């Protein structure tokens, strides 16, 4: 069965688990920096890592919103959306 994605609702992306998943990935990547040899563990350094994760999350969500607006705009102009082939497995 072929399914075509014609419009993606931005609010459904923003209020789904997607922002939380992006934040967790950014937080894990920021905390991996604590194992670098020049890292000094103090409160300001840890808060800088958390703020870097928040900043990365906001930047990625803004870029996702921009691409969703572009995708929805192109789909509204009549360009075909993404087609997915779904198969039943028994």
Measure the CA–CA gap between 71 and 83, rounded to whole angstroms. 13
Write out the residue range of the structural domain in which residue 50 sits. 2-85
Measure the CA–CA gap between 68 and 13, rounded to whole angstroms. 9
Residue 45 inside a domain? The answer is: yes
Say what the pTM is.
Answer: 0.78
Residue 76 inside a domain? The answer is: yes
Task: Give the residues of the chain that fall short of pLDDT 70.
Answer: none
pLDDT at 46: 86
Residue 90 inside a domain? The answer is: no
Number of domains in the chain: 1
3-class secondary structure, 80: coil
What pLDDT, in 10s, does the model give residues 48-67?
A: 889 999 999 999 999 999 99
Residue 17 inside a domain? The answer is: yes
pLDDT at 23: 94
pLDDT at 18: 94
């Amino acid at each position: 069965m072929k399914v075509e994605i014609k419009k993606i609702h931005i609010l459904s992306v923003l209020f789904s688990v997607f922002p939380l998943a992006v934040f967790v990935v950014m937080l894990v990547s920021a905390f991996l920096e604590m194992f670098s040899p020049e890292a000094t563990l103090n409160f300001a350094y840890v808060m800088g890592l958390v703020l870097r994760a928040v900043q990365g999350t906001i930047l990625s969500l803004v870029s996702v919103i921009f691409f969703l607006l572009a995708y929805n705009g192109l789909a509204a102009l009549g360009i075909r959306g993404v087609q997915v082939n779904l198969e039943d497995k028994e």
